[in-house]
Amino acid sequence: MSAIAVKEVKERVIGDNDLVAKTVRNDLKEKGVFLVNLMASPGAGKTTTLVRTIEALKDKYKIGVMEADVDSTVDAETIEATGAKVIQLHTGGSCHMDADMTKRGLEAMGYEDLDVVFLENVGNLVCPAEFDVGAAKKVMILSVPEGDDKPLKYPLMFSVSDCLLINKTDAMEVFDFDMERLKQAVRGLNPGMPVYPISSLKGEGYDEWLAWLTGEIEAWRHGGTEIGG
């Protein structure tokens, strides 16, 4: 296995994150690169979900992944095995990525030859929701063991996301998780957001998720979709 490239992207004081995010988004649009900001709690299954998603799409798109974490390269090594281009971003203790950190990560990785880039944000349901990183779409993963009450506890994350994946549905019988109650709470915060139950462990429920994602990528590439952070 080759050595994982590591980039220190410690947060620095930037006056207008939204302005930097707009610059990042415009640059990616110009180069035809679709950036997904993937957010979730630690242990929700971001990396496993990414692996299955990359395996399903790598024959159609050239894919890159930015793995953001306080330290370590464990997740980046897992992603590298898929053949995707990958870089490990160390945030220096910061609990989120912002637009400037994302910009530096993209530059360090090199993205001009890619079609799709996933940013696996720092595991957190609070800070990442507050920062536009310049992505075309924000995707959130909630795992069944976390409980169906999370929209009530972390409303901003559910409000700003464009798509919600409910992972670890294979554990539904073990945990007291009410899918309909969860969906009702989500509709109150973000009525139009699609919700896709999946099991990344078993590969179940991926057809709808992949159809949504490829539809968004193609619509964006042809200028037919609204973009957000």
164: three-class secondary structure by DSSP: strand
Q: What is the pLDDT of residue 222?
A: 83
Residues of the chain with pLDDT under 70: 1-2, 6-15, 70-73, 93, 224-229
Contact indicator for 91, 68 with CB cutoff of 8 Å: yes
Q: For the segment 71-107, what is each residue's pLDDT rounded down to a tens digit?
A: 666 778 889 999 999 999 888 767 778 999 999 999 9
**Rounded to the nearest 5°, which phi and psi values hold at 135?**
-75, 155
Burial 145-166 (b: 16+ CB within 10 A, else e): ebebebbeebbebbebbbbbbb
pLDDT of residue 93: 67
Query: What's the pLDDT at 73?
Result: 64
**Domain range list for the chain:** 17-221
Q: Which tokens belong to 217?
A: 């990528």
Four-way CATH pick for 17-221: 3.30.70.20, 3.30.930.10, 3.30.450.40, 3.40.50.300:
3.40.50.300
Report pLDDT for 210. 98
